Amino acid sequence: MKLKLICTAALAMFATTAYAQSSVTLYGVLDSGVLYQSTSAATFLPHAPNLGHVYQLKDGGIFSSFWGIKGSEDIGGGYRINFKLQGVFNSMSGKFGLSDTPGTTAIFNQFATIGASGPFGTIDMGRQIIPMIYAMAETDVRGAQYFGSILTAWLGVNQAAGWPGTSTNAPIGALYDSNAVVYRSPKFFGTSLALEYAPGGVAGQAQGGTRESAVLKFSNYGLNLSAVYYNGHDTNPFPITYPNAPAAAATGLDNNRFYYLGAMYTIAGFSVSGSYGIGKNPASPNTADFEMISGGLGYQFNPRFKVTSGYYYLKDRNHSANHSSEFSVGAEYSLSTRTSAYAQVGYVDNKGTMNQTIIYGAPVAPGVSTTAAMIGIRHTF
């Protein structure tokens, strides 16, 4: 009888523990296709030579392939502790994605966060995709896809500013920030606020390597509005000649600032978007001062099929000869709840040293027009 009571108590204890713990989810996406591009380059350098047309299997026609683990624990009173680990990989080679350190990769290069959520909103700490990118995606008909979108336009600004593409540490704005603390407020009549601060951790230099940003969004009645402010100190300290030159020492100067205003309106299946952005180096405006303008139009024919299009214009405000225009059109069809097929085509006219890419991860030759087309399939699990 005594043994029976002990076993019953133990089972009750474990059952209570299991009830208190929340589930952990393994998830991911595979996105692969065939790409044709009429010009190509080996790097993102503004003087990289044209290597000619290219056919290739390409990862990430809509977004990159990635996998992750996430979970949360209910601690009572409407509060939860959350974690997320997520990283991209190349489905063609199996390699992991880039980290902040030039030339190196990371398993969880998109998210490695722990945080809390509740009536106050959410707070996450660690490496993460920052609020700026979500604000841009939600005001772009193309949704900041990897092929011809506000994302590739913003990356074009970074390439023009000297980003060598060997790390995720960009000179204008940011896609990911490491060591970041991000707070997201609850929605109030469709309005929400996101704040970010990332201490640099540079000894003897309080401002060395720090990042801060603020995003104000409105989403209601089919209308999305976004306003972005991003500021970075010692962003992208590695020179364009990396790895043949050493990293620059931290100075604490503001050398990365990005402003963005965007809007998208959806009604009866039609979506229209527009945005305006400025990216500059405040410490040395003569070296980086760019303008970015976008417009988009799309239509959702039915729950399975949609067509989207976008126009993206970049301008070097220091050198009027450097500018580029990009057009893109894409169609997506859902084969099932987890699998979709897509076809996309894009054209970019680069002038001067501009080298705006059509698809992320496929450099184009600067100063020449380029056409690209891609068909692919995307599966989530």
Tokens 């698809």 sit at which residue?
A: 359
Q: Output the average pLDDT for the chain.
A: 92
Residue 219 dihedral angles phi and psi, to the nearest 5°: -145, 105
* Residue 310 contacts residue 328 (beta carbons within 8 Å): yes
Is residue 278 domain-resident? yes
pLDDT tens, residue by residue, 315-363: 999 999 999 999 999 999 999 999 999 999 999 999 999 999 999 999 9
Residues 129/175, Cβ–Cβ less than 8 Å: yes
- Residue-wise pLDDT tens digits, 277-326: 999 999 999 999 999 999 999 999 999 999 999 999 999 999 999 999 99
266-280 confidence digits (pLDDT tens): 999 999 999 999 999
What's the pLDDT score for residue 235? 86
CA nearest 147: which of 221, 253, 64, 217? 64
**CA–CA distance, 158 with 296 (Å, rounded to integer):** 21
Per-residue pLDDT reduced to its tens digit, 58-99:
999 999 999 999 999 999 999 999 999 999 999 999 999 999
Q: Which of 286, 212, 196, 284 is nearest to 248 (CA)?
A: 284
Q: Is residue 355, in this structure, part of any structural domain at all?
A: yes
Q: According to the model, what pLDDT value does residue 244 have?
A: 60
Which residues 6+ apart lie within 8 Å of 179 measured at CB? 126, 127, 198, 199, 200, 201
Does 21 reside within a domain? no
Per-residue HEC secondary structure of the chain comes to CHHHHHHHHHHHHHHHHHHHCCCEEEEEEEEEEEEEECCCCCCCCCCCCCCCCEEEEEECCCCCEEEEEEEEEEEECCEEEEEEEEEEECCCCCCEEECCCCCCEECCCCEEEEEEEECCEEEEEEEEECHHHHHHHCCCCCCCCCECCHHHHHHHHHHHCCCCCCCCCCCCCCCEEEEEEEEECCCECCEEEEEEEECCCCCCCCCCCCEEEEEEEEEECCEEEEEEEEEEECCCCCCCCCCCCCCCCCCCCEEEEEEEEEEEEEECCEEEEEEEEEEECCCCCCCCEEEEEEEEEEEECCCCEEEEEEEEEEEECCCCCCEEEEEEEEEEEECCCCEEEEEEEEEEEEECCCCCCCECCCCCCCCCEEEEEEEEEEEEC
Token duo for residue 59: 């990862």
- Please state, in angstroms and rounded to a whole number, the distance separating the CA atoms of residues 319 and 287: 10
Number of domains in the chain: 1
Give the pLDDT band of residue 247 (cuts 50, 70, 90): low
Q: Is 300 within the bounds of a domain?
A: yes
Residues contacting residue 351 through CB under 8 Å, at least 6 positions apart: 321, 322, 323, 324, 367
19 domain-assigned: no
What's the Cα-to-Cα distance from 281 to each of 4, 139, 180, 262, rounded to whole Å? 72, 25, 21, 21
pLDDT, residue 23, reads 85
What confidence score (pLDDT) does residue 22 get?
80
Structural tokens at position 54: 């290219």
CA pair distance 144, 176, nearest whole angstrom: 14
Whole-number Å distance between alpha carbons of 212 and 180: 9
**Confidence bin at 10 (pLDDT 50/70/90):** very low
Distance CA 344, CA 64 (A): 15
Torsion angle of C-alpha atoms 342, 367, 100, 311, degrees rounded to 10: -40
Residue 13: inside a domain: no
- Asked whether the predicted pLDDT for residue 18 surpasses 80, the reply is no
The answer to whether position 11 is within a domain reads: no
Tokens at 290, concatenated: 């760019």
The pair of structure tokens assigned to 301 is 């024919």
- Whether residue 268 lies inside any domain: the answer is yes
Distance CA 381, CA 375 (A): 21
pTM (predicted TM-score): 0.91
One-letter amino acid at 297 equals L
Q: What domain range includes position 369?
A: 30-380
Q: What residues have CB less than 8 Å from 342, skipping those under 6 apart? A: 33, 61, 62, 330, 331, 332, 333, 374, 375, 376, 377, 378
Return the pLDDT at 220.
Answer: 97
Q: Could you tell me the CATH number of the domain that includes residue 352?
A: 2.40.160.10
R_g over Cα of the chain: 22
pLDDT at 251: 83
